[in-house]
């Protein structure tokens, strides 16, 4: 919990425009209400939903004191159906003809789905699930790309009270099998294949390897997407078009308890066993729906595009449950941003008139390397009214580039901080209220008590760094780790158990600092810092300084063993393509922006950086690759790299290893 040194200074700021302030859904008074009586505040947010039965107790909390496992309950006694809130109620209100989804497939196929059509599709899928023996509480693993059917089967699970767990369609059989086994899933939903980077890739064989010899798995429901011939297990495998498309389009949604599990989402990482985080129905939907409506200032005529894969928690909240509960039109896109060309996202924004574009800093930095200072001409992006970023802290230069190029140098950039564990955004600006600062997600949302504290749990003074915590429970919080409540306590609550008025703080795992305006700046994971001669340096700050140089598109830094300084900074950079990378110039850039102590001792130019599906750079994996190369040169056996199944680009590991093997590893 030792503080990280915060050295990089950012002075640019962008006040909220008068136009946004005049039309905003949420004004500054919400902060006062959320602070004075947070439980009452969240009750008001919950009333935006349709409840079959009202709650009798808004909130109960068992704190993590005396070794107890914490337990939060919200809207106790209340009953609702999540899918009804996302689909049926809009049809009942006369908005059935409104477009719910514009789907664009990677090959160019397109489907438009209205809310009335979505209601029929979800009802058919719900009836098919029941026919396959799925009951409330049963687990369903969904191993599909971004398709209309992925949204449909997810909502169908919610409709009948089954617990869904979405898995990225590019994951290995090992990763899928772990999730099937850990959840004890009764059903796996997959496809014959998927389109990825212009190629139809067969997927069913991978699903079969994952599903082999699991006694609890009763069926595999297979969607025909690519039309490829696939292996088939009679009695277990079922075609979607035979089970779902032929089912009745009439289904009455049953209400479930507010604390009924809705989904299990697995954290990713290069070490350790993934944690299955359990989110429940009433509290999660309340937080997801209100946060989307508030910080994206959701309007009835919005066309919302969250670019995340549906298996990522961002898509759960801002591509399924948040926008649909608020009755919006959305775009979902199956493929990669550069298929068949690098302007695909610009084309999609223009084609559908996207108004809110929510993406990851990784993609923004990729656009910077592809397009340079300006976007290609010929694309009309004037429908955009809000921009958003999510994943990890965005570098200030990337933030400014995004605002200038996608936002006409006038649109708000809604930089959001949250996690799989939190359910929805925790720190984010309000478009009509907040002055924006590049690189900071700003301040906690109304009703959220996030703070930066020292090792004693006391809030740090402005300018100092510490540990980011949440000091009281909130509705969208994960309730437990599936099958391992003790791990839930140990991972998130043990460090500050007994602290504060609520008897414990949630530890996010990030270091942060707070400036004199109360803005929070994320400094990176607490275990990703570099300790150089006793100076604990932020990896994100060093990376931001590197990305500010015009020859660098992206950067990942890590601490590696050094005989003199204890640790040294090694930087892995991808070139922007504008000029040759000079390691001396980059070291000078970091020294100027942060200080000499932060200068990377080693700089390695690589074609790509290993990232999770959320776009987070796996810095520990970079350090492991570096150490493995040192072991190889010394004739020692290298330690295993750990789990890499959650990477979106596993080939980057081999590419970096090959570069390191050939590198002279000069320091300047």
Domains of the chain: 18-79+355-523 (3.40.50.12780), 82-254+300-333 (3.40.50.12780), 527-662 (3.30.300.30)
Q: What are phi and psi of 534, to 5 degrees?
A: 85, -5
Q: What are phi and psi of 201, to 5 degrees?
A: -105, 130
- Provide the β-strand partners of residue 195: 200
Q: What are phi and psi of 316, to 5 degrees?
A: -55, -45
The residue behind tokens 């905003």 is 24
Number of H helices, E strands in the chain: 21, 30
Between 264 and 577, name the one with better pLDDT.
Answer: 264
Q: Environment class of residue 25 by beta-carbon count within 10 Å: exposed (0-12), middle (13-18) or buried (19+)?
A: middle
Instruction: Please write the tens of the pLDDT for every residue from 308-350.
Output: 999 999 999 999 999 999 999 999 999 999 999 999 999 999 9
Compute the mean pLDDT over every residue in the chain, rounded to the nearest whole number: 93
- Provide the β-strand partners of residue 219: 187
Alpha-carbon distance of 448 to 435, in angstroms, equals 19
Give the pLDDT score at 596: 86
What band does 433 get if pLDDT is binned at 50, 70 and 90?
Answer: very high
- pLDDT beyond 90 at 120: yes
Alpha-carbon distance of 481 to 487, in angstroms, equals 7
- pLDDT beyond 70 at 181: yes
The residue behind tokens 């980059």 is 586
Instruction: Please write the tens of the pLDDT for every residue from 126-169.
Output: 999 999 999 999 999 999 999 999 999 999 999 999 999 999 88
Selection from 118, 140, 119, 142 nearest residue 129 by Cα = 140
- Provide the β-strand partners of residue 570: 558, 602
With a threshold of 0.85, does the pTM exceed it? yes
- pLDDT beyond 90 at 421: yes
Q: Which long-range contacts (CB under 8 A, 24 or more apart) does 117-123 make?
A: 118/87, 118/151, 118/152, 118/155, 119/87, 119/88, 119/91, 120/249, 121/148, 121/152, 121/249, 122/83, 122/87, 122/152, 122/155, 122/156, 122/159, 122/251, 123/159, 123/247, 123/248, 123/249, 123/250, 123/251
Give the pLDDT score at 668: 39
Dihedral (Cα; 383, 389, 391, 397), 10-degree rounding:
130
Q: Where are the beta strands (DSSP E) in 88-157?
A: 99-104, 110-114, 139-144
Q: Are 247 and 118 in contact (CB under 8 A)?
A: no
In 212-328, where does DSSP find H-type helix?
240-243, 281-295, 313-315, 322-325
Alpha-carbon distance of 294 to 288, in angstroms, equals 10
Query: Residue range 177-197: average pLDDT?
Result: 96
- pLDDT beyond 70 at 268: no
Instruction: Please write the tens of the pLDDT for every residue from 33-50.
Output: 999 999 999 999 999 999
Alpha-carbon distance of 225 to 150, in angstroms, equals 12
Q: Are 543 and 555 in contact (CB under 8 A)?
A: yes
Query: Residue range 604-619: average pLDDT?
Result: 85
Query: Residue range 498-514: average pLDDT?
Result: 94
3-state SS of 3-61 is CCECCCCCCCCECCCHHHHHHCCCCCHHHHHHHHCHHHHHHHHHCCCCCCECCCEEEEE
Give the pLDDT score at 645: 65
Question: What whole-number percentage of the chain has pLDDT above 90?
Answer: 79
Quick count: other Cβ atoms within 10 Å of Cβ 212?
11
- pLDDT beyond 70 at 415: yes
Selection from 510, 495, 419, 526 nearest residue 64 by Cα = 495
Question: What whole-number percentage of the chain has pLDDT above 70?
Answer: 96
- Provide the β-strand partners of residue 451: 469
In this structure, the strands spanning 237-239 and 413-415 are unpaired
Token readout for 282 is 């009433």
Give the pLDDT score at 379: 97
Alpha-carbon distance of 17 to 223, in angstroms, equals 47
Instruction: Please write the tens of the pLDDT for every residue from 612-656.
Output: 766 788 888 898 999 999 988 989 988 887 667 667 788 899 999
Alpha-carbon distance of 127 to 258, in angstroms, equals 23
- pLDDT beyond 60 at 583: yes
- pLDDT beyond 50 at 18: yes
Give the pLDDT score at 357: 98
Query: Residue range 397-404: average pLDDT?
Result: 96
Alpha-carbon distance of 413 to 301, in angstroms, equals 19
Give the pLDDT score at 642: 67
Q: Are 617 and 270 in contact (CB under 8 A)?
A: no
Give the pLDDT score at 500: 95
- Report the run of H or E that residue 450 belongs to, with start and end: strand 450-453
- pLDDT beyond 60 at 526: yes
Which residues, in sequence order, are CB contacts of 183 under 8 Å at separation 6+?
A: 139, 141, 163, 165, 264, 276, 482
The residue behind tokens 């971004």 is 146
Alpha-carbon distance of 362 to 614, in angstroms, equals 9
- CA 474 to chain CA centroid, Å, is 18
């Amino acid at each position: 919990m030792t503080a990280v040194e915060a050295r990089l200074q950012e002075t640019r700021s962008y006040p909220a425009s008068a136009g946004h302030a005049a039309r905003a859904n949420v004004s500054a008074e919400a902060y006062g209400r959320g602070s004075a009586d947070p439980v009452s505040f969240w009750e008001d947010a919950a009333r935006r939903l349709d409840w079959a039965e009202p709650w009798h107790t808004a909130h109960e909390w068992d704190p993590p004191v005396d070794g107890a496992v914490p337990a939060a309950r919200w809207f106790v006694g209340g009953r609702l159906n999540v899918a009804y809130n996302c689909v049926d109620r809009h049809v009942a209100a006369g908005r059935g003809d409104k477009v719910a989804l514009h789907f664009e497939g990677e090959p160019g196929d397109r489907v438009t789905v209205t809310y009335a059509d979505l209601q029929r599709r979800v009802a058919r899928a719900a009836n098919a699930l029941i026919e396959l023996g799925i009951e409330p509480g049963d687990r369903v693993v969904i191993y599909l790309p971004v398709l209309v059917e992925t949204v449909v089967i997810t909502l169908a699970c919610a409709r009948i009270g089954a617990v869904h767990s979405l898995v990225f369609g590019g994951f290995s059989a090992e990763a899928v099998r772990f999730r099937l086994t850990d959840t004890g899933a009764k059903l796996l939903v997959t496809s014959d294949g998927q389109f990825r980077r212009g190629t139809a890739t067969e997927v069913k064989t991978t699903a079969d390897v994952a599903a082999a010899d699991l006694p609890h798995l009763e069926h595999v429901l297979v969607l025909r997407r690519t039309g490829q011939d696939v292996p088939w297990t009679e009695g277990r495998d079922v075609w979607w078009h035979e089970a779902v498309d032929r089912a009745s389009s009439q289904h009455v949604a049953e209400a479930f308890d507010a604390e009924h599990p809705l989904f299990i989402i697995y954290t990713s990482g290069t070490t350790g066993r993934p944690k299955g985080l359990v989110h429940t129905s009433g509290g999660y939907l309340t937080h997801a729906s209100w946060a989307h409506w508030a910080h994206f200032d959701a309007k009835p005529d919005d066309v919302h595009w969250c670019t995340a894969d549906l298996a990522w928690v961002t898509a759960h909240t801002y591509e399924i449950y948040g926008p649909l509960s608020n009755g919006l039109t959305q775009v979902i896109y199956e493929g990669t941003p550069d298929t068949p060309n690098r302007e695909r996202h610009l084309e999609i924004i223009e084609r559908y008139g996207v108004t809110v574009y929510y993406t990851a800093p990784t993609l923004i930095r990729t656009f910077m390397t592809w397009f340079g200072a300006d976007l290609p001409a010929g694309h009309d992006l004037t429908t955009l009214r809000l921009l958003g970023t999510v994943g990890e802290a965005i570098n200030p230069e990337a933030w400014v580039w995004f605002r200038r190029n996608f936002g006409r140098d006038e649109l708000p950039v809604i930089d959001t901080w949250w996690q799989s564990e939190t359910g929805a955004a925790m720190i984010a600006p309000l478009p009509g209220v907040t002055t924006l600062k590049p690189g900071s997600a700003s301040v906690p949302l109304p009703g959220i008590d996030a703070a930066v504290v020292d090792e004693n749990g006391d809030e740090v003074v402005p300018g100092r760094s510490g540990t980011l915590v949440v000091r009281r429970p909130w509705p969208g919080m994960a309730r437990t780790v599936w099958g391992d409540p003790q791990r839930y306590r140990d991972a998130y609550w043990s460090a500050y158990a007994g602290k504060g008025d609520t008897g414990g703080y949630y530890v996010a795992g990030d270091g942060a600092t707070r400036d004199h305006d109360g803005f929070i700046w994320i400094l990176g994971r607490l275990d990703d810092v570099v300790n150089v001669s006793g100076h604990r340096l932020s990896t994100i700050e060093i990376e931001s300084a590197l990305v500010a140089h015009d020859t660098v598109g992206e950067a990942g830094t890590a601490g590696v063993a050094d005989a003199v300084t204890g640790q040294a900074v090694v930087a892995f950079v991808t070139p922007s393509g504008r000029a040759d990378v000079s390691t001396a110039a980059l070291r000078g850039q970091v020294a100027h922006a942060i200080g000499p102590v932060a200068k990377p001792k080693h700089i390695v130019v690589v074609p790509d950086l290993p990232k999770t599906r959320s776009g987070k750079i796996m810095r520990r994996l970079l350090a492991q690759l570096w150490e493995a190369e040192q072991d190889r040169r010394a004739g020692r056996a290298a330690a295993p790299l750990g789990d890499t199944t959650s990477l979106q680009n596993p080939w980057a590991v081999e590419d970096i290893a090959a570069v390191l093997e050939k590198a002279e590893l000069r320091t300047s």
